[in-house]
Structure 1
Amino acid sequence: MPYDEPPDLAAMTLREITEVIEAHELPPVDRWNPRDTADSHARIAADGTWFHEGREITRPAMIRTFSSLLKRDRKGRHWLVTPECKQSIEVEDAAFIAIDTKVLDGALAFRLNTDELVIAGPDHPLRTAGDLDTPSVYLMVRHGCEAKLNRSTWLQLAHHALANDDGFWVESQGERFSLYPE
């Protein structure tokens, strides 16, 4: 099946972004509860690079496929889930990396390292961790998995927040998110 990369985020309207998100079909990972478990021997490095048995996975299509099967449980463990088996996967920081953002029409849209688009809001909140010297901002993606904003994306967001006269925060879909670490 051919893969059509979404258009450049900067050129998209909020409606176009929403249409791309709605058209993106994902496996029903939240409904699968297999009994069998195993270790996938895979790891997602802090910079978003995927590895299997110590070797980098260089095929973007494989990463997009595997990332569609990710789930994080209440204990913070990440899993690759299929109807038959769930396999543990080591995630050094976040399962995804947010590599771009766009502010438009009261919403913050993000592109992930898997080319997925996510709009921050009630279902996809932002949270800030770390400290004032080294803050990290995370976006909830799905099934408990988050995307860490890379440096340039964080700087875009910080620039937007600096326009607020009453604090260092951003707003998306009616939700306000502080960019000060928790």
Structure 2
Amino acid sequence: MPLDPLLARIDPDGAIAPVDRWDPPLSGEMDLVIAADGRWIHEGTPIPRPRLIRLLSTVLRRDADGEYYLVTPGEKWRIRVEDRPFLIVDAEEARNGWMLTTNVGDRVMLDATHRLTPSVTSSGETVPEVAVRFGLAARLNRNVYYRLVEQAESREQDGGVELGLTSAGVWQPLGRMDVDAS
């Protein structure tokens, strides 16, 4: 399926569309894959234009069925996501906590609504993710993870030691540390 008809319905300024309020019938499957490394691949070819990726990301959502869709008021196209649709590519300490930036330009403050949650990747590695919007989550890039670990503290938690940080008054876990019992 060509992208042009879908793009004609998207805000050219890249504003987030109210896709949570749209309920069109399923139009079909689109040959679009969001790779685990953040690349968007349409019909086997990586999309080279960041602005185009940003536009498409503004109409992306994950439904209760666990599937990912590009949605406009009149169309709904299922796409494939290998891991998470977004990556956290930057973290900066702000006055109230940590502000994270995704590879598509979303900015999210770590807080009670947007919490770090350790989860297992397809390769078996435990990496934190954070909710972004409309059922979509972003994994921490390795460099961002290590940056946050440098600022982290450890806490006794559930009989073990957890590494994390506080942002917007909320504990944000980065992972558990193995403690040698000998």
Which TM-score tier does this pair reach, normalised by the shorter chain?
0.7 to 0.9
Bigger Rg, structure 1 or 2: 2
Indicate whether 1:158 and 2:111 are aligned.
no
Contact 2:15 2:58 in 1 (8 A): no
Indicate whether 1:89 and 2:79 are aligned.
yes
SS in 1 for 2:27: strand
Q: Which residue of 2 aligns with 1:175?
A: 170
Q: Which residue of 2 aligns with 1:60?
A: 50
Identify unmatched segments of 5+ residues in structure 2: 1-10, 157-161, 177-182
After TM superposition, list the pairs within 5 Å mapping 1:13-162 onto structure 2.
Answer: 25-130=15-120, 134-162=125-153
Instruction: Give the whole-Å Cα distance in 2 for the aligned partners of 1:75 and 1:96.
Output: 19
Contact 1:36 1:84 in 2 (8 A): no
Instruction: Give the whole-Å Cα distance in 1 for the aligned partners of 2:128 and 2:175.
Output: 9
Q: What is the deviation of 1:172?
A: 1.6
Contact 2:100 2:108 in 1 (8 A): yes
**Structure 1 or 2: more helix by fraction:** 1
Q: Deviations over 1:118-158 (max 9, x none)?
A: 11112222111139x93211011100001111100011111
Q: Deviations over 1:12-71 (max 9, x none)?
A: xxxxxxxxxxxx841111100101331111000000000011111001111000001110
TM-score, normalised with respect to structure 2: 0.79
Give the partner amino acid of 1:173.
A
How many aligned residue pairs are there? 159
Give the partner amino acid of 1:159.
E
Bigger relative contact order (CA 8 A; separation at least 6):
1
Decide which moves more: 117-126 or 94-103.
Answer: 117-126
- Show structure 1 runs of 4+ deviating over 4 A: 164-167
Identify unmatched segments of 5+ residues in structure 1: 4-23
Give the partner amino acid of 1:176.
W
- Alpha carbon RMSD of aligned pairs, Å? 2.2
Q: What is the deviation of 1:106?
A: 3.2
SS in 1 for 2:127: strand
Give the partner amino acid of 2:126.
P
Q: What is the deviation of 1:179?
A: 1.7
**Structure 1 or 2: more strand by fraction:** 2
